[in-house]
């Protein structure tokens, strides 16, 4: 590699890393408890559990469960129904004061066998909610998500440029060598390079999937306007289906399952919500294998007649989004993968912190040396500075 190219890659690596490091440290720190959100929920007592019953206890109707949830908040409207992913004996109903998307919601957990209300958990407060909001959007909504997505892009640039720089640097060192006999800065430089290479693939995967996740709102809106809108042509000019005129939710659910057999319900979006249309219950169904369980199949059911209107396939960009979400938090491989993700997260924190230390230390060391130079002296070329750590 030519000296000019080396200087260019060094500049890209330095500034892409510096600009994004503070925010990436925040994401790593907040992401650590999110890896174990279920376990932390159990410790904090915020997880809802259904009472023990015989395994063959039959389920009650979805309409009865919805009525029980609505009775707790009669001034609100049910917007989403979500079976618990780990225990299908628990359903969560989300209620808001208006049919339009809003942050003012209440959740009610209902026993799917008895229609008894189990709890009214708050998902918009507490330690884990703060960690999630900081990790997802910095409490800044879509603008915060897109900003963090840009930080993720800078992280990927820093990783690629770091790999390019690492190859010529390691020609004079054995892989994994840490020069403990040299200065503290050189020891941290070797550790920074070594840990960066060890976590290379993981950091690229988590950074890439995190960046994709920040585009979720935009991708969903694009899908609605580009594909779902064409399915709603027969409904143009019709008013939004009033709550009083909606068909039985159980009938609509049965129609959706019959249309796509061999699937499990992920969640139901009611008419007027961000994931549905003004005229449909939209059932998002998933498969029963490790891979298909992450892929959703939307089924639009007419809210008046409980008849299936359409079951469009998810486009490739939403499929990529759905696959990337559990991969980002290590949700594919159970407890072993969670532990591995946590360890790699901690190592990445060390890499980011050491990168900041090395930058500040280099500026501290260089400043007095530069100040002592005569006015007509020519500073050392960037190539010499970039290779000063080599033996």
β-bridge pairing 280-286 and 264-269? antiparallel
Provide the pLDDT for residue 173. 66
CA distances (Å), origin 301, targets 253, 277, 295, 312: 8, 10, 19, 12
* H or E element, residue 82: strand 77-83
Q: Say how far apart CA 193 and CA 178 lie, in whole Å.
A: 10
Distance, CA of 18 to chain centre: 23
- The conformation of residue 115, written as its DSSP 8-state character, comes to -
Write out the two tokens for 349.
């924190």
Digitized pLDDT (tens) for each residue of the chain, 391 residues in all: 677 888 888 899 889 988 999 999 999 999 999 988 888 888 877 889 999 999 889 999 999 999 999 999 999 999 999 999 888 899 999 999 976 667 789 999 999 999 999 999 988 888 999 999 999 999 999 999 999 999 999 999 998 888 888 767 666 666 666 666 667 777 887 778 778 877 888 889 899 999 999 999 899 889 888 888 888 888 888 888 888 899 999 999 999 999 999 999 999 999 988 888 899 999 999 988 777 788 899 999 999 999 999 999 888 999 888 888 877 877 666 788 888 899 999 999 998 988 888 888 877 766 655 444 444 433 333 333 333 333 3
Q: Of 313, 326, 297, which is closest to residue 206 (Cα–Cα)?
A: 326
Output Rg (C-alpha) for the chain, integer angstroms. 27
Under 8 Å between Cβ of 51 and 111: yes
Backbone angles phi, psi at 306, to 5 degrees: 60, 30
**Exposed, middle or buried, 242 (CB in 10 Å: 0-12/13-18/19+)?**
exposed
Q: Which residue in the block uniquely carries the two structure tokens 């000296």?
A: 3
Q: Say how far apart CA 352 and CA 129 lie, in whole Å.
A: 25
Provide the pLDDT for residue 225. 84
Q: Say how far apart CA 236 and CA 248 lie, in whole Å.
A: 23
Provide the pLDDT for residue 292. 78
Provide the pLDDT for residue 246. 94
CA distances (Å), origin 209, targets 141, 216, 246, 349: 19, 11, 38, 18
- Sketch the domain layout of the chain as residue ranges: 3-31+133-214+335-386, 41-126+223-329
Write out the two tokens for 268.
């139901």
β-bridge pairing 77-83 and 117-119? unpaired
């Amino acid at each position: 590699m030519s000296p000019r190219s080396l200087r260019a890659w060094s500049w890209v690596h330095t500034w892409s890393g510096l600009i994004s490091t503070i925010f990436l440290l925040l994401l790593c720190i907040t992401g650590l408890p999110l890896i174990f959100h279920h376990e932390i929920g159990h410790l904090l007592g915020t997880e809802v559990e259904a009472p023990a019953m015989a395994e063959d206890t039959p389920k009650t109707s979805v309409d009865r469960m919805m009525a029980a949830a609505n009775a707790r908040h009669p001034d609100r409207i049910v917007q989403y129904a979500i079976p618990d992913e780990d225990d299908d004996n628990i359903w969560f109903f989300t209620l808001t004061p208006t049919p339009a998307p809003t942050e003012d919601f209440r959740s009610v957990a209902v026993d799917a066998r008895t229609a008894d209300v189990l709890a009214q958990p708050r998902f918009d407060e507490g330690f884990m909610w703060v960690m999630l909001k900081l990790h997802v959007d910095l409490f800044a909504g879509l603008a915060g998500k897109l900003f963090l997505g840009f930080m993720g892009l800078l992280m990927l640039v820093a990783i690629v440029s770091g790999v390019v720089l690492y190859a010529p640097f390691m020609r004079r060192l054995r892989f994994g060598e840490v020069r403990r006999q040299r200065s503290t800065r050189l020891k941290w430089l070797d550790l920074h390079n070594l840990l960066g290479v060890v976590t290379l693939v993981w950091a690229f995967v988590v950074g890439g999937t995190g960046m994709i996740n920040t585009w979720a709102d935009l991708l969903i809106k694009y899908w609605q306007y580009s594909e779902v809108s064409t399915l709603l042509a027969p409904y143009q000019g019709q008013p939004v289906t009033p709550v009083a005129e909606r068909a039985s939710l159980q009938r609509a659910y049965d129609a959706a399952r019959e249309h796509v057999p061999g699937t499990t319900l992920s969640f139901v979006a009611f008419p007027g919500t961000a994931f549905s249309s003004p005229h449909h219950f939209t059932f998002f169904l998933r498969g029963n294998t490790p891979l298909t369980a992450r892929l959703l199949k939307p089924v639009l059911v007419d809210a008046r007649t409980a008849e299936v209107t359409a079951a469009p396939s998810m486009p490739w960009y939403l499929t990529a989004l759905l696959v990337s979400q559990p991969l980002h938090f290590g949700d594919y491989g159970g407890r072993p993968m969670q532990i591995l993700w946590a360890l790699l997260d901690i190592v990445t924190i060390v890499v980011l912190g050491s990168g900041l230390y090395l930058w500040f230390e280099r500026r501290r060391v260089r400043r007095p040396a530069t100040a002592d130079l005569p006015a007509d002296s020519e500073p050392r070329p960037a190539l010499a500075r970039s290779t000063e750590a080599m033996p």
